[in-house]
Amino acid sequence: MNGLKVLFHINELSRWQIVLGNITNLLNDVGQDNAHIEVVINGEAVSIFKDKCKQVESGNLCSISSNLSLLEQMEKLSKVGVKFVACRNALKAQLIDEESLPDFVTVVPAGITEIVRKQAEGYAYIKP
Amino acid sequence: MNGLKVLFHINELSRWQIVLGNITNLLNDVGQDNAHIEVVINGEAVSIFKDKCKQVESGNLCSISSNLSLLEQMEKLSKVGVKFVACRNALKAQLIDEESLPDFVTVVPAGITEIVRKQAEGYAYIKP
Amino acid sequence: MNGLKVLFHINELSRWQIVLGNITNLLNDVGQDNAHIEVVINGEAVSIFKDKCKQVESGNLCSISSNLSLLEQMEKLSKVGVKFVACRNALKAQLIDEESLPDFVTVVPAGITEIVRKQAEGYAYIKP
């Protein structure tokens, strides 16, 4: 497998725009055929996938519009090969049904294990 | 040495519960015999080891009960092999006497050096 | 190339003193001839290089004096071999003219790419 191997770790909801911007800059710099990018999502960062109406009702800072914008950016990035991997422990803690996740998200039993394994495969680790 | 090698870096007091939760999830996922886990503690994160009464007097956010709970979790994790390593520079900066540290904590001259050396030994780096 | 290879990643303005303290502690521990240290600066952290008067006018938290102190520390570290590398995307986003940067700062097209490449060269990653 040629190309740069890069793992982004996000565990704070407030860092999504920064992570997606970092990925976009990386792809613009090296070209989408030259990078293998995976985003491992754990902790409260998985709440980006919560039902948006529920979030607004509960006064969550994530409004429908901003969440949709982030999810749209994620979907676009997934179409050029970026993988989004969510931690099952975090989904359970945030009461998020796996069935409700966007199609481009895959689930692993533990996000931390995924991060460790990817580094062992030569992926660079970045925590934006 | 078989098993996953994982280094957790914590330098913020507020991240302790997240770090300990991450470690617990990792151990539950791979089994405690299949992971070598070390936590390097520097910066303000070492203040978890401050005398709890002094902290309450000075209005520190860490109350006795929450600190005890975290220390108890750390002790349990240490009994299944998780290593807790504190930075001497940070301890000095926080006016913490090394003699007052729990038995399961070891001290290194510089936490950053420890982080670098462990990565050179093949440890994955995780900053929760 | 002998010696420890270490990459520090900073993307938050508020973390500068911590990063510079970490580097100082590392150098004190291993000696400046035994470490190759690079600091990759992206996101809002590049605003340390903004014109200080403009910052004060706009009510930015960075006052002239605190910024100067940090820049002086950076310059001293650069003289013992620490490299400071800024991300062009971040500089553009913060409206910072590359010509205005201190001499000891070099610019790369994308900070994230630099982080990935350095890890591929065996540099340890640290996010203070």
DSSP state string for A28-77: HHH-GGGEEEEEEE-GGGGGGGS-HHHHHHTT-S--HHHHHHHHHHHHHH
Q: Do B112 and C25 touch (CB under 8 A)?
A: yes
User: What residue ranges of chain A have pLDDT lower than 70?
Assistant: 1, 52-66
Calpha distance C57→B87 (Å, rounded): 39
In this complex, the chains that touch C, judged by 3 or more CB pairs closer than 8 A, are: A, B
AA identity, residue A106: T
- pTM, full prediction: 0.91
Calpha distance C100→C102 (Å, rounded): 7
Q: Which whole-number Å values give the CA distances from C25 to B42, B88, C77, in the listed order? A: 11, 10, 12
- pLDDT tens for A57-71 read 555 554 556 677 999
Work out the number of other CB atoms within 10 angstroms of the CB of residue A118: 21
Q: Do B127 and A9 touch (CB under 8 A)?
A: yes
pLDDT tens sequence for chain B (128 residues): 679 999 999 999 999 999 999 999 999 999 999 999 999 999 999 999 997 544 445 555 545 566 779 999 999 999 999 999 999 999 999 999 999 999 999 999 999 999 999 999 999 999 99
Of B87, B116, B127, the CB nearest to C4: B116
Of A18, A23, A125, the CB nearest to C43: A18
Question: Chain A within 8 Å of B28 (Cβ-Cβ)?
Answer: yes
- pLDDT tens for C59-110 read 555 455 667 799 999 999 999 999 999 999 999 999 999 999 999 999 999 9
Dihedral of CA atoms A106, A110, A115, A118 in degrees, nearest 10, equals -60
Give the 3-state secondary structure of residue A88. Answer: helix
